[in-house]
Structure 1
């Protein structure tokens, strides 16, 4: 009996030691894991702080405008960037001109200026839908190669920017192309638009025909004008008129009248 009790006592001691070792191991692991999480959180906070401590005046932002003389809208964007505190410069040439061929606001940056891009986006861009492209050939920290008025935080320039977004009819150049419509349809539409104040309207024949009744193509930042024109067309025999962007066209607005055009406007 005494020998059995002694064996049982030894077994209990061994079990106790095992339990102590398990608990000690768990405590060590928990402490290590907690320490690792703290280190990770610290690193994340450091990265955030680095971005937050980067000031606009430390960042050079380029604005691409290929025209010989920068447009008033480009100059307005330059003024807005300077108002925020950025160093702004207008560029007539960029290393990646294809980046411009998009209807979305597009920003270029270098790998080492990604934090600069984050600051520009935070201070200037009001949409979550914009394009960003890495280009190691650019000199500036960030280049705005394409942009839409409604995507920009205009600050004190908001009222003036809105005027550019809704230009006066007499300031908009419009080309009406007969692309399969009844003879005289383009001229008839030009008269209708003239009565609405669109004085810069010309008429030509398209090289190719379209099946749609009417398509309205607009340059960048003329979307609101295209919407207004669609309403006019819908009220004058083109209820199915649609609009879409064409950033490469010469005129602010190009209207194509196709085979399905059935205008009854006088």
Structure 2
């Protein structure tokens, strides 16, 4: 998708250059209008006009003037291109987009489809698996070539912090340079909201599975929350998380160059 969008952007750029080139040629060879003096202005010296007419035909332009006009038109065409929304430049933004946007897109699609179904069914085990973090590194992982990173990553839930939200955080950082930009702050704030929602969803899923209780001291006197109440809470959290996701997407898509496909909202 990125390559196709980049191709369309290149074609648009070439079209702009061609249009600017044609306009520059037309302007360069257009006869100059006659001088019409206004009040307070002095009419041109007729002797100077005759001397200019002897050097070149009236209404024509010199070769240097022609190439100067073409150069100005080309620069103007380049100015029509969308500016990169990052102080680090196009290359850094492109790398971050290609690296993290697939995980972000997959996470958003899972949230609005699969996770929505799990929440509607009160599938506590399914919700827990969808949000679970990968296991911590074990001693035996050190003997593997990649220290067990790939194996642990496969165990991360489809909307876990490690799989989706970390990628969203890193993508947000690509819009800042020496100082944190307002765009990065907005994106990271939305990610932090989603992170809190995920943590609460994990807690509700554990309660639904009987792995966690509310209240009491050191587990004494804790009460089990009714299923209906857990269902109500998880649905409210789903809506809250969806709104936070849309805030992230809105901030990410704002002022993005045309060659990048926009992230999708949760509806």
TM-score category of the 2 structures, normalised to the smaller one: under 0.3
Q: What's the TM-score, normalizing by structure 1?
A: 0.25
Structure with more contact order per residue of length (Cα contacts < 8 Å, sep ≥ 6): 2
Q: What's the TM-score, normalizing by structure 2?
A: 0.25
Q: Which has the higher strand share?
A: 1
Q: Which has the higher helix share?
A: 2
